[in-house]
Structures are given as structure tokens and as C-alpha cells.
């Protein structure tokens, strides 16, 4: 093999390393284990099986046909296994990768690859920070020796990066030395020649370790950001829900307190209704519920309010049966109905009526809550939407869940009542994720509601 052919083989080594890393980064089970710093023995063994199968396949291709010599990057693979998952994974991976070569008579391949897997685990243990493994970049850290003595540098990190480079080059040197001593028949050499060819082979091993680590680091960072964003959304949603629930409980307990003296039997009935509501709240921890459950919740809530207002409060439901099983955010309707009572009907001697409508309109689930109560001025309405506990929190929760793909509007006229209208995407529990994303993108392009 001439120098040009050898250079092509070395370049293909790097391409194979990048391809293998890309394939593994798309395997969910592998990436889930790679994201963890603490793994069980079973998980470390499973990672070793991944590494052994993928890099061992490259060894087998090289053994079967010399034309596929570039597919064998087992030396870098064993180091990566130890670096990313520790001693046991590195050792077992090296053993598994070497099996095709052992059958080919290369009996030194198993102890060498197993030893390099242990070396990767040792480097992982001496790292000042587990994340330091993922910061490795040989092309930058060839100057790490200068950074060790640079004023203000992090000496531990710089020294480790220098050790990282030296260890990989030393491993490649030992591998090549053993091949020269015992012969290529018992251990495949890194390069057919000496001098510049051998130096290029050492640099290739460095690149074959660094490139997969960078690819996996990019995938890890992306998944960690997604997880953090999801946790942030869940935390915000939980905080908003918890803010709504005490508001509801405060008003309900006031109603009970007003009944205890005048009608203990009715107070006991209200307490029973409240206990039903609390059991449902404690049992239903998901952020979403079907519309049928939300309406049942409103029935329980209004059963309490009807005791308080009597004939002054009238309630009408106009619901299309086809939308009863569509998911909506939990506690969507109760704050709106509560505002209708508090700001509309409670202020009128003759009371009033609350109407809830739900049906599909223009491809959206439209939910309307309207009353014929006292209504609100524009200033009071702006205050309600901007800083009120009920409707403003509902709006914020909708924004957290749907982004821009929803509409909420509140219209009110003094003396005529208030109308709250919400348009939501028509998702069912079995809607595929791709269809949801497509519908959300379409809805987000529509004009925003006020």
C-alpha cells in the first residue's frame, strides 16, 4: 500500500468513526444511557454490547476482506467505551470487539483492546469533572501544554486535557510497538510504514476518539436542553395550577362558613361536594383532562355555588357530544365560571345565568363561557386579564401548553354581561405527534386573539 492509499484509509477511518457515532446517537436506548453519569451494572453491560457489536462489525469486515481495512477502528472504539462508561464497559467492549480478530489468529488483539478499554476508564476516573470528557478536542488541546502555564488558566482542566492527548497517543504507540514486536499476524498494525505515515496514524486515532465525542456531546446537549425546557414548562404549569386551586378553595370555604350557622345540614352537603372535588384534584395530577371531566368538575363546583345563590344562579350547558372526549387543560373552566359569578352575577340582586357552550368551529374546539351579569368596564377587564388570578392564569397556562396555537378573548359590557371565548387545537389522545406539530404550526400562523 503506497502513501496515498494509506492516507485515504486514514481519512476513511475518521469518516467511519463519525458515521458510527451518528448511528449510535439515533439509538434511543444508547443515548438514554449515555446521558446518565450513574449507571447500573446492567446498563454498563448493555453499553458494552452496543460498542462491541458496532466496532466489532468493523473488525469483522477487515478480517473478511482486506479491502475493508478502513472499517476497523476498534482501538478508538475501546478507548471511547471506557471514556464514556467506565472500566467495566471498556473492558467488556474491548473483549467483544476483538473476537473476530481472535478467530483470525490475531491473539494479541484481545488483551490490547481490553487494556485500552481499561485505560479509557482510568482517564474517566481522573477527570476533574465528568463533563471534561466531552470537552476533549485534540486539535485545540495540542497547545494544552502552553495553557498549563498561562496565567489564570484552570490548571486541573488544562493538565487533564494534555494527559488525555498524551494517553491516546501513548496507547497508539504501544499498539504499534506490540504489532512490530510480535508481528502483524498476531496484531494488525496501525500503519504499514514509519515516519510521517505512523504520525498520521496517531493523529487519526486522536481524531477517531474526538469526533464521536463531539457528535455525542452535541446530541447530549440537545437532549438535555429539551429535558430542561420540558421540566421548566411542567414546573411553570404546576405553579400556575397550584395558584388557581387555593383561590378556588378560599372562596368555597367562605361559602361553607356562611352556611354553618344558618343551615348545618346544607353545610354538610357542601362539605361532601367539596370532598368530591378535592378527591378529584388529588387523583388527577396530569395537566390535561378530557372536556367531559372538566364539565363534571364544574357541576360539582356549581352545586356548592347554587347553595349560596339559590334561584339567583341559573346554569345552562350547550355541549356538542362529539367534543366531550377531547383533551383540554385541567382546571380550564372553573376560574372562568368563578369570575362570572364573582364579577357578574354576585353583584346583581336578581342574579343571572351562566351558559357554557362547546363545539367544533373552523377546525378548532371552541369553548364559550358567558353570563348576563353586571359586566365590566374596559379598565376592570384590562386588570382582570393582566393581573387577575383566574383568567390571567388560564391564559398563561394555555400559552405554556399550546404556544401561539390558541386564542382566548374576553368581551364585556357594563350591564350586559361577559363572554369568554377559547379556541383550542383539536387533539385527541391518539393523535400522532407529527400531526400535532403540523396543526400547531398552522394555528400559530393565524392572527392572535385578544
| pLDDT tens figures, 402-443 | 877 888 888 888 888 899 999 998 865 445 555 655 655 555
What is the C-alpha separation between 99 and 68, in angstroms, rounded?
17
Does a structural domain hold residue 291?
A: yes
Are 315 and 406 part of one and the same domain?
A: yes
Query: Across residues 295-305, what is the average pLDDT?
Result: 85
First to last CA, the chain: 73
Are 218 and 362 part of one and the same domain?
A: no
| pLDDT tens figures, 81-108 | 999 999 999 999 999 999 999 998 899 9
Are 78 and 174 part of one and the same domain?
A: yes
| pLDDT tens figures, 123-150 | 999 888 777 888 887 654 444 445 545 5
- The DSSP bridge partners found for residue 353 are 314
Are 220 and 275 part of one and the same domain?
A: no
**CATH code of 292's domain:** 3.30.565.10
What is the C-alpha separation between 220 and 216, in angstroms, rounded?
6
Query: Across residues 101-116, what is the average pLDDT?
Result: 91
Are 221 and 269 part of one and the same domain?
A: no
- The DSSP bridge partners found for residue 357 are 318, 368
pLDDT at res. 150: 54
Do 370 and 397 contact (CB within 8 A), yes or no?
no
Does a structural domain hold residue 408?
A: yes
Q: Which of 172, 199, 226 is the last residue of a domain?
A: 226
pLDDT at res. 277: 76
Confidence of residue 297 (pLDDT cuts 50, 70, 90): confident
Query: Across residues 286-301, what is the average pLDDT?
Result: 85
Plot region of 108 (φ>0 → left; ψ -120 to 50 → alpha; else → beta): alpha
| pLDDT tens figures, 145-162 | 455 455 445 677 778 888
Does a structural domain hold residue 89?
A: yes
Residues contacting residue 447 through CB under 8 Å, at least 6 positions apart = none
pLDDT at res. 230: 65
What is the C-alpha separation between 224 and 353, in angstroms, rounded?
50
What is the C-alpha separation between 428 and 168, in angstroms, rounded?
53
| pLDDT tens figures, 157-187 | 778 888 888 899 899 999 888 888 888 788 8
Are 289 and 175 part of one and the same domain?
A: no
Does a structural domain hold residue 450?
A: no
Are 213 and 272 part of one and the same domain?
A: no
pLDDT at res. 421: 94
Are 222 and 306 part of one and the same domain?
A: no
pLDDT at res. 442: 59
Q: 391: domain range? A: 263-444
Confidence of residue 450 (pLDDT cuts 50, 70, 90): very low
Low-confidence winner among 19-23, 329-333, 357-361 (lowest mean pLDDT): 329-333
| pLDDT tens figures, 29-66 | 888 888 777 788 898 999 999 999 999 999 999 888 87
Q: Which of 209, 226, 243 is the last residue of a domain?
A: 226
Does a structural domain hold residue 240?
A: no
- Burial of 249 (C-beta count, 10 Å sphere; 0-12/13-18/19+): middle
| pLDDT tens figures, 227-286 | 666 655 665 555 555 555 566 677 678 878 877 888 888 788 888 888 877 776 666 556
Do 331 and 246 contact (CB within 8 A), yes or no?
no
Confidence of residue 311 (pLDDT cuts 50, 70, 90): confident
pLDDT at res. 271: 87
Does a structural domain hold residue 252?
A: no
How is residue 12 written as a grid cell?
Answer: 476513511
Handedness of CA 78, 79, 80, 83 (dihedral sign): positive
pLDDT at res. 3: 67
C-alpha 234: how far from chain center:
11
Helices (H), 261-290: 264-283
* Residue 388: closest CA among 353, 421, 351, 342: 342
Does a structural domain hold residue 249?
A: no
For residue 315, the surrounding DSSP H or E stretch is strand 313-319
Are 172 and 288 part of one and the same domain?
A: no
Does a structural domain hold residue 232?
A: no
Are 14 and 122 part of one and the same domain?
A: yes
For the chain, how many residues are written? Answer: 450
pLDDT at res. 304: 79
Instruction: With both helix axes pointing from N to C terminus, report the angle between 391-402 and 378-387 in degrees, rounded to the nearest 10.
Output: 50
Q: How far is CA 137 from CA 143, 208, 214, in A?
A: 11, 11, 8
Whether the model clears a pTM of 0.85, i.e. scores above it, the answer is no
Q: Which of 164, 198, 226 is the last residue of a domain?
A: 226
Q: What percent of the chain has pLDDT over 70?
A: 81
**Total domains present in the chain:** 2
| pLDDT tens figures, 187-215 | 887 766 667 778 888 888 888 998 998 89
pLDDT at res. 89: 93
What is the C-alpha separation between 55 and 316, in angstroms, rounded?
68
| Cα-based torsion angle of the residue sequence 7, 10, 11, 16 in order, rounded to the nearest 10 degrees | 160
**Based on C-alpha coordinates, what's the Rg of the chain?**
33
Are 90 and 192 part of one and the same domain?
A: yes
- 354 vs 443, residue with greater confidence: 354
What is the C-alpha separation between 383 and 208, in angstroms, rounded?
61
Are 320 and 378 part of one and the same domain?
A: yes
What is Dmax (Cα atoms) for the chain? 103
Amino acid at each position: 500500500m503506497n502513501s496515498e492509499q494509506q492516507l485515504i484509509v486514514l481519512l476513511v477511518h475518521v469518516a467511519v468513526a463519525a458515521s458510527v457515532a451518528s448511528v449510535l446517537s439515533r439509538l434511543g436506548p444508547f443515548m438514554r444511557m449515555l446521558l446518565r453519569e450513574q449507571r447500573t451494572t446492567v446498563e454498563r453491560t448493555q453499553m458494552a454490547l452496543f460498542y462491541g457489536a458496532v466496532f466489532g462489525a468493523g473488525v469483522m469486515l477487515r478480517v473478511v476482506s482486506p479491502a475493508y481495512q478502513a472499517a476497523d477502528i476498534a482501538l478508538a472504539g475501546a478507548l471511547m467505551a471506557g471514556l464514556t462508561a467506565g472500566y467495566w464497559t471498556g473492558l467488556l467492549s474491548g473483549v467483544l470487539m476483538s473476537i473476530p480478530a481472535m478467530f483470525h489468529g490475531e491473539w494479541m488483539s484481545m488483551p490490547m483492546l481490553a487494556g485500552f478499554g481499561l485505560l479509557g476508564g482510568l482517564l474517566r476516573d481522573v477527570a476533574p469533572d465528568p463533563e471534561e470528557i466531552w470537552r476533549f478536542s485534540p486539535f485545540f488541546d495540542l497547545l494544552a501544554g502552553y495553557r498549563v502555564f498561562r496565567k489564570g488558566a484552570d490548571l486541573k482542566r488544562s493538565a487533564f486535557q494534555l494527559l488525555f492527548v498524551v494517553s491516546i497517543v501513548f496507547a497508539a504507540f504501544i499498539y504499534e510497538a506490540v504489532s512490530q514486536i510480535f508481528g502483524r499476524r498476531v496484531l494488525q498494525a496501525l500503519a504499514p510504514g514509519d515516519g510521517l505515515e505512523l504520525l498520521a496514524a496517531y493523529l487519526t486515532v486522536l481524531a477517531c476518539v474526538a469526533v464521536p465525542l463531539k457528535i455525542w456531546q452535541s446530541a447530549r446537549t440537545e437532549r438535555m436542553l429539551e429535558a430542561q425546557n420540558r421540566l421548566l414548562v411542567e414546573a411553570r404549569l404546576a405553579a400556575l395550577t397550584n395558584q388557581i386551586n387555593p383561590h378556588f378553595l378560599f372562596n368555597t370555604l367562605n361559602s361553607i362558613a356562611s352556611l354553618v350557622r344558618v343551615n348545618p345540614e346544607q353545610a354538610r352537603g357542601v362539605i361532601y361536594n367539596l370532598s368530591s372535588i378535592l378527591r378529584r384534584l388529588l387523583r388527577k395530577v396530569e395537566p390535561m383532562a378530557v372536556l367531559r371531566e372538566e364539565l363534571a368538575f364544574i357541576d360539582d363546583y356549581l352545586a356548592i355555588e347554587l347553595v349560596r345563590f339559590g334561584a339567583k344562579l341559573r346554569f345552562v350547558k350547550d355541549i356538542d357530544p362529539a367534543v366531550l372526549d377531547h383533551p383540554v387543560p385541567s382546571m380550564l373552566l372553573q376560574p372562568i365560571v368563578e369570575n362570572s359569578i364573582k364579577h357578574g352575577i354576585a353583584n346583581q340582586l336578581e342574579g343571572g345565568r351562566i351558559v357554557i357552550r362547546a363545539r367544533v368551529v373552523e377546525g378548532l374546539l371552541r369553548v364559550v363561557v358567558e353570563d348576563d351579569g353586571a359586566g365590566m368596564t374596559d379598565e376592570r377587564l384590562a386588570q382582570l386579564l393582566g393581573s387577575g388570578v383566574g383568567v390571567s392564569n388560564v391564559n398563561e397556562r394555555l400559552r405554556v401548553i399550546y404556544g401561539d396555537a390558541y386564542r382566548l378573548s374576553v368581551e364585556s359590557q357594563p350591564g350586559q354581561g361577559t363572554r369568554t371565548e377559547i379556541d383550542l387545537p383539536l387533539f385527541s389522545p391518539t393523535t400522532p405527534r407529527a400531526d400535532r406539530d403540523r396543526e400547531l404550526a398552522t394555528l400559530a400562523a393565524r392572527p392572535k386573539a385578544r
